[in-house]
Amino acid sequence: MPHVKKVCSYRLYLPALMKINNLNTVLTGTPDTSKLTNGVLHIYTLLLKDVVEKRKKSVAVTTKFPGYTQIRHETFRSYLGDNYLKVLDLLFKAGYLEMLTMDENGVEHLGGYYDFHYNGEPGRCKSYRIPSHFYSDTNLYSIIEHMPTKHDLNKKDAVNRQNIRYEEKYRNLVLENMRDIVLIDTPESRHTLQGIFTNRGIELQPEDYIEFFNHNPFRPEHVDPYGFRCHNPVTSQEKVMRPYQRFADDLGEPLSVLDFVASQPALIANINAALIKKLVPECSDVIRYFKEVEHDEQYLKYKKLAMSGNIYEYFVKKFNETFPYSTPIDRDKAKEIVYISFFSNYDYKEAAKPIEHTLQALKQSILQSNESMIAKLQQTLFKKQAYALLKQEFPAVHRLFTNIKTLKWAFNEDSYTNNCLMAQRIESNLVYIHIAKNLFDGGVTRFGVIHDAFLVKKKDEAKARKIIAATLRTLNITLKFS
């Protein structure tokens, strides 16, 4: 595959059955293209991108569109100017755009219904959609190649980064890299995507997903204020798509995935006073609780298993031994055990009825062939078993977490997740402030990060491994990575 030079152009999208000259006439009274048309095309691209993304996530889509998309007034003002309300009114009256006017209770809001959340963030925002009659049975859109001005690029970046709540140099550098990661369009990548869509009952063509992932200008970025992790379209892709990811300016070079093994349990096992002060000083009041268990025999056993990368295999073995009446679990299910038993609300777990009670209810539901109740009770049973297994195998770890969950931190409203927040911040600060910095400084400059995994060019893999290993040694952290 040839080396492809990166270009600054991107694509805009027009609904399949909409004619550009007709849109121009709606906006300006003449069929000639205008600056306003360019702005509306950016809005349509935002809406069409959301259609594709929602179709990928949803179970079977039975309508020609999956609903409305929230768009901030700042975005409208940026692309349509200070008189954006007049432009929207033109589109509404011509039937070229629809606004959500009914709330979840069926109450009509003639000026538009405000939803008080935007992409999970608090905010006051109206929702819009492209009318369904502009979609054909076989196509959602037509493509318009766009060579943006510097002003266009600045506006695009403002939209993509409007949910950044935490700024840090190396996170920003990695996010810049991630903007350039695309999917190669091959029979194999399409086949893999089709398998995902078929399993979910989704009516979406692989080529449409690849088109929007690679070429639409809007790739929102987010640094969550909880664990300081970076999120973007690459981080939300399924693992099976990683073999098809490439940097847009080097499509012929595959990416290798360097992934920490059991990273969060292992990082917790590595925690000591020095590491907390270096990576999460805001959590320093947990130090006394780690000191209380540091010589405990069961805690040392946990540390050994977690640092060696064998903690999940241990939970598989012990679960299958302890609960022989349940379906045997595998390593993926053991990850759920760790998540449930480490990060759940312990007050709720302690107040719950015993496992035996759930078992009896499950047997009764099986006798009654109550399938929905059987599924619900099986899930409840597994959660109780997971919690019980931690208490049985690692009581010192359970005691440690119980104490951490009692702490009151101004930066975390749900104190029962304190240990989860601490683990995520340790992981993300290790990954970005230390490892990513050293990779950049060491000459490995084109790489991406998916939480605890690094996407590096195959030719840089050996060098990246050495830099990561040296960083861990410097910090006295024992982590295995694949």
Residue 34 in tokens: 């205008």
Q: 282 and 141 in one domain?
A: no
Any domain includes 5: no
Higher pLDDT: 120 or 226? It is 226
pLDDT digits (tens, 9 = 90+) for 48-89: 998 888 777 764 443 333 478 889 999 999 999 999 999 999
For residues 228 and 310, membership in a common domain is answered with no
Whole-number Å distance between alpha carbons of 281 and 303: 22
Q: Which residues contact 55 (CB under 8 A, 6 or more apart)?
A: 61, 66, 202, 203, 204
- Residue ending a domain, among 226, 247, 268, is 247
Query: Containing domain of residue 284, as a range?
Result: 254-482
pLDDT in tens, 460-480: 999 999 999 999 999 999 999
Does this model's pTM top 0.85? yes
- Look at residue 143 and tell me if it is in a domain: yes
* Residues 314, 342 within the same domain: yes
**Residues 27 and 114 placed together within one structural domain of the fold:** yes
Same domain, 240 and 279: no
Last residue of a domain, one of 212, 247, 282: 247
Residue 128 and residue 271 in one domain: no
Residues 408 and 423 placed together within one structural domain of the fold: yes
> Do 283 and 239 share a structural domain?
no
Residues 219 and 156 in one domain: yes
- The count of domains in the chain is 2
Give one DSSP letter per residue of 120-154, joined into a string: TEEEEEEEEE--GGGS-SS-SEEEEEE---HHHHH
Same domain, 237 and 259: no
Same domain, 263 and 294: yes
Q: Give the containing element (helix H, strand E) for 343.
A: helix 331-343
Instruction: Point out the least confidently predicted range of 138-142, 317-321, 398-402, 419-423.
Output: 138-142
